[in-house]
Structure 1
């Protein structure tokens, strides 16, 4: 079968012929109909995860189940599926037995440790897969196992009730989905970016943020004043200055600090992006009593919940589609371009 692989470190994708996989116990064999391109795929090329080369890229598959492995229940050939990148789990560690197997330290991640879904066929764990309704296009289904579930879980981790004030810093592939999800959850939403494209995209959404802030033209102090003014005009009760929580999908240092500076005392800072380091002066962290947490993805049940939420609330996922694996070269160029907006997806 055809697959787009990173053959050597710091190289881009090469179209290769590789053996087709088969479904083992607990697995699904999926004929890939769409696969998303993520910033993490570029990090794999740079060697950030110690990936073995050659390796097939992408960890965002959606497609048709063509074979069901031994012991799998609830799935049949012909089902529409999307699958998480956790393709093996040890089943023996504390996370697997008592907490959340999504954090199994001994498992393998598709596209990072083992072959991913930039291929005609992909093998997933059935327990880490979710059913995709007929109403959801493939190009929307493919981002769900990464962009969709990641931002959905991060918003849930912020722990806000309807009426809470949530900021999302970075309105790209994850953030533009997140502002809509947060609005659908009944939150007061602040969207932050420094790029014209994402700001324009989010301004035109049906579930648009209550406040949009151009961080290239607005200081954190000015942003807090804008947020406080809008919040005061929206809610009758007195609110503390700043946002209750912020979800950070941006990774450049100014954005990381901006997000912290607009967070209220006793607020929550949820980090989704993968910067080399997070620098916060300890005095400000301690005296503001801000809770800083990381957020990764989730499990198969979380993925199913995400897909159902996106469908129920008509969340718009902005994608640019590319016809076939032959387009991975120009798609890579698009992914790294400064004006890139939304999500790049290969259709098969």
Structure 2
């Protein structure tokens, strides 16, 4: 096996992304070495590259939407075999020793946010924007046979987030589900919600996305909460946009006992309308990666062809082009780097 690999480097805040030579890492006990075949670029990657979120010093070696093939096993690994196709989501390993970990919670974003020292792929350890990466075996998930690497990569984070939020909402069969924002997460949300039989309403102020939302499976498309209310409202709002204000506006159309599921990252403050929140008995649910079982379910749904990620593919040599297009909002809807 080669001893050198190409990896994506972010040398400093808001700098262009570069490809550099690095040594191929070696798997330690309980770890696997993965030959990466594809890795998506997530909005969280931009926040780290722009210094909005900071978990380690620059240069950064990011990527938490990686998928590939296991090519080497560390000591003691029995759960994976050479040749297994796997995904590597962000939450890789909990410390196992802190007060939170003593409660024996499963891998999830809640664990990532509460464990004293979690291992987070592409966040505080090197990620999958490289030809090879190592991961704790418990931080990998097997890919179903029917899914391509290009489709699996964005499902490992954006699709996972979306499906976990839908499962968390626990809506009744035939419920009216509104998706606020039609982007990297939103385009997944429309398709997942439709795949399980909900009446899906897309909420977007972008006229150019109305026809696309219908193609993705939306039964109705509206511009705001007032229009949502006018057509009958929604039992569940899935907030997938980069604006909390859009979610608050959409709550105008949230039915009594309805749920708002927050899964989109946004920088604006969220000021809730207290009176309707109380009088309508609304629920506000924070949701991201709620457990690896939901990732496995999401991958299976995509593998069956019920959901199709919309991706733009970029070879490794064009990773800076991919970054620039994501940063400018020009990608519809996920940029995936291939190796």
- The question of a shared fold, defined as TM-score above 0.5 by the shorter chain, is answered with yes
RMSD: 1.8
Hey, what does 1:233 align to over in structure 2?
A: none
More divergent stretch after superposition (271-280 vs 293-302) = 293-302
Name the structure 2 match of 1:119: 130
Task: Assess if the C-alpha contact under 8 Å between 1:130 and 1:301 holds in 2.
Answer: no
Rate the CA distance shift 1:209–1:95 in 2: closer, same or farther, 3 A. Answer: farther
- The aligned counterpart of 1:272 is 263
Q: 1:267-346 counterparts in 2 under 5 A?
A: 267-276=258-267, 277-324=269-316, 326-346=317-337
Task: Note closer, same or farther for the CA distance 1:38–1:3 as it changes in structure 2 (3 Å cut).
Answer: same
Partner of 2:172: 161
Q: Over residues 73-110 of structure 1, what are the superposed CA-to-partner deviations in whole Å (9 max), with x where a residue is unaligned?
A: 23111111111112331123455443333233220312
Of 210, 215, 220, the match for 1:211: 220
Gap regions ≥5 residues in structure 1: 229-241
Asked if 1:49 corresponds to 2:40, the answer is no
Is the 2:87–2:141 Cα contact (8 Å) retained in structure 1?
yes
- How far the C-alpha of 1:313 sits from its partner, in A, is 4.8
Kept in 2, the 8 Å contact 1:197–1:341? The answer is no
- Please name the residue that 1:185 is paired with: 196
Deviations 1:122-178 (A, max 9, x none): 112222222223321111011121011100000111110211111111111111111
Distance 1:253 1:177, change over 3 A: closer
Kindly indicate whether residue 55 of structure 2 is the aligned counterpart of residue 64 of structure 1: no
TM-score, normalization by structure 2: 0.90
Counterpart Cα distance in 1 of 2:244 and 2:287: 18
Q: Structure 2, unaligned stretches of length 5 or more?
A: none
Provide the residue aligned with 1:78 in structure 2. Answer: 83
1:195 pairs with one of 206, 210, 218: 206
How far is 1:121 from its partner?
0.5
Preserved contact between residue 179 and residue 240 of structure 2 (Cα < 8 Å): yes
Q: Which moved more, 1:52-61 or 1:311-320?
A: 311-320
Corresponding residue number in structure 2 for 1:10: 14
Q: 1:24 and 2:40 equivalent?
A: no
Any residues of structure 2 matched to 1:254-273 within 5 Å, and which? 254-273=245-264
- Measured in 2, the distance between the counterparts of 1:334 and 1:296 equals 24
Q: TM-score, normalised by structure 1?
A: 0.88
From 236, 243, 247, give the equivalent of 1:245: 236
Match of 1:130 among 119, 141, 150: 141
Q: Which moved more, 1:29-38 or 1:1-10?
A: 1-10
Contact 2:163 2:192 in 1 (8 A): yes
